[in-house]
A and B are shown apart, each in its own frame.
Chain A
Amino acid sequence: MHLTSLRTISPALALAMGLAAAPALAQEQTGGTLRLLARAAAGTIDPHINYTLQYFQLNYILYDGLVTFRKAEGAEGFEVVADLAREIPEPANDGTSYTFELRDGIQFSDGTDLTAEDVKASFERIFKVSGPTAGTFYNNIVGAEACLQSPDECSLDEGVVIDEEAGTVTINLTEADGEFLQKIAIPHAAILPAETPAEDLGTEAPPSTGPYMIESYDPNSTLAMVRNPHFEEWSEEAQPAGYADAINYDFGLTETAAVTAIQNGQADWMFDQPPTDRLAELGNQFAEQVTLHPLTAMWYAPMNTNLAPFDDVRVRQAVNYAIDRNALVSLFGGPNLAQPACQILPPGFPSYEPYCPYTAGESDTWQEPDMERAMQLVEESGTAGQDVTIVVEDTSVSRSIGVYLQDVLSRLGYDASVQPISQNIQFTYIQNTDNNVQMSVSQWFQDYPSPSNFLRVLFSCDSFTPGSDASVNIAGFCNEDIDAMMDEAESLTLSDPERSAEIWTEIDRAVTDAAPAAVLFTPKRVDFFSERVENFLFSPQFYWIISQAQIDQ
Chain B
Amino acid sequence: MNLSSSARTDSSAVEPGTGSAALVAESPWATAWRKLRQDRAAIASLIVLGLITLACLLAPLYAQMVSGTDPFTTNLGGSIVVGGESRPILAPSTTGLGLGTTPIGPTGEFGPYLLGADAQGRDVAARLLYGGRNSLFIAASATLICLVLATAIGTVAGFFGGMIDTILSRILDVLWAFPIFLLAISLSIVMLNQTLRIGPVEIGSGSLVLPIFIIGIVYIPYVARPIRGQVKSLMSAEFVIASVGIGASSWRILLKDVLPNVVPRVIVFLPLIMALAMIIESALSYLSIGVQPPNASWGTIIQDGQSLLYSRPLVALAPGIAIAVTVLTLNILGDGVRDAFDPKSSVRIV
Interface contact B95-A283, CB-CB below 8 Å: yes
Residues of A78-127 contacting chain B, CB below 8 A: none
Interface contact A287-B96, CB-CB below 8 Å: yes
Which residues of A are found within 8 Å of B193, using beta-carbon distances?
421, 425, 429
Interface contact B77-A334, CB-CB below 8 Å: no
Residue in B closest to A407 when the chains form the complex, CB atoms? B73
Given the contacts A399-B293, A425-B193, A417 and B101 also touching, CB distance less than 8 Å: no
Which residues of B are found within 8 Å of A326, using beta-carbon distances?
76-77
Contact with B along A316-343 (1 / 0, CB 8 A): 0000000010110011011111000000
Interface-side segment among A59-67, A142-150, A270-278, A494-502: A270-278
- A176 CB to nearest chain B CB (Å): 44
Given the contacts A419-B206, A422-B189, A256 and B99 also touching, CB distance less than 8 Å: no
Which residues of B are found within 8 Å of A418, using beta-carbon distances?
206, 292-294
Which residues of B are found within 8 Å of A545, using beta-carbon distances?
none
Q: Is B69 part of the contact surface with A, judged by Cβ < 8 Å?
A: no
Interface contact B102-A419, CB-CB below 8 Å: no
Interface contact B98-A330, CB-CB below 8 Å: no
Q: Is B328 part of the contact surface with A, judged by Cβ < 8 Å?
A: no
Interface contact B120-A279, CB-CB below 8 Å: no
Interface contact B92-A403, CB-CB below 8 Å: no
In the complex the two chains form, what is the Cα distance from A331 to B204 in whole Å? 27
Interface contact A284-B77, CB-CB below 8 Å: no
Which residues of B are found within 8 Å of A285, using beta-carbon distances?
96
Residues of A277-332 contacting chain B, CB below 8 A: 277-285, 287, 290, 292, 324, 326-327, 330-331
Interface contact A277-B292, CB-CB below 8 Å: no
In the complex the two chains form, what is the Cα distance from A314 to B175 in whole Å? 51
Given the contacts A276-B119, A404-B120, A407-B73, A337 and B99 also touching, CB distance less than 8 Å: yes
Given the contacts A277-B308, A280-B93, A283-B95, A403 and B120 also touching, CB distance less than 8 Å: yes
Residue in B closest to A327 when the chains form the complex, CB atoms? B76
Interface contact B99-A283, CB-CB below 8 Å: yes
Interface contact B99-A420, CB-CB below 8 Å: no
Interface contact A282-B288, CB-CB below 8 Å: no
Interface contact A284-B73, CB-CB below 8 Å: no
Per the CB 8 Å criterion, the residue count for chain B at the interface is 34
Interface contact A336-B308, CB-CB below 8 Å: no
Interface contact B74-A283, CB-CB below 8 Å: no
Given the contacts A407-B73, A418-B292, A418-B293, A277 and B99 also touching, CB distance less than 8 Å: no
Residues of A12-48 contacting chain B, CB below 8 A: 18
In the complex the two chains form, what is the Cα distance from A292 to B292 in whole Å? 33
Interface contact B100-A403, CB-CB below 8 Å: no
Q: Is A394 part of the contact surface with B, judged by Cβ < 8 Å?
A: yes
Which residues of A are found within 8 Å of B98, using beta-carbon distances?
283, 334-336
Q: Is B110 part of the contact surface with A, judged by Cβ < 8 Å?
A: no
Interface contact B119-A396, CB-CB below 8 Å: yes
Interface contact A277-B293, CB-CB below 8 Å: no
Residues of B108-138 contacting chain A, CB below 8 A: 119-120
Q: Is A550 part of the contact surface with B, judged by Cβ < 8 Å?
A: no
Interface contact B76-A279, CB-CB below 8 Å: no
Given the contacts A277-B119, A324-B77, A326-B77, A333 and B294 also touching, CB distance less than 8 Å: no
Interface contact A327-B96, CB-CB below 8 Å: no
Q: Is B192 part of the contact surface with A, judged by Cβ < 8 Å?
A: yes
Residues of B191-212 contacting chain A, CB below 8 A: 192-193, 204-206
Given the contacts A326-B77, A334-B93, A419-B192, A279 and B205 also touching, CB distance less than 8 Å: no
Residues of B241-298 contacting chain A, CB below 8 A: 288, 292-294
Q: Is A400 part of the contact surface with B, judged by Cβ < 8 Å?
A: yes
Given the contacts A331-B119, A407-B73, A417-B204, A277 and B100 also touching, CB distance less than 8 Å: yes
In the complex the two chains form, what is the Cα distance from A407 to B292 in whole Å? 15
Contact with A along B84-105 (1 / 0, CB 8 A): 0000001011011111111000
Residue in A closest to B307 when the chains form the complex, CB atoms? A396
In the complex the two chains form, what is the Cα distance from A278 to B311 in whole Å? 7
Q: Could you give 17 example pairs across A and B, Cβ below 8 Å?
A: A276-B307, A277-B309, A278-B100, A281-B100, A282-B99, A283-B96, A283-B100, A287-B97, A334-B100, A335-B92, A400-B119, A402-B293, A403-B294, A406-B294, A420-B288, A420-B292, A421-B193
Binding site for A on B (CB under 8 A): 73-74, 76-77, 90, 92-93, 95-102, 119-120, 189, 192-193, 204-206, 288, 292-294, 304, 307-312
Binding site for B on A (CB under 8 A): 18, 256, 275-285, 287, 290, 292, 324, 326-327, 330-331, 333-337, 394, 396, 399-400, 402-404, 406-407, 410, 417-422, 425, 429, 526
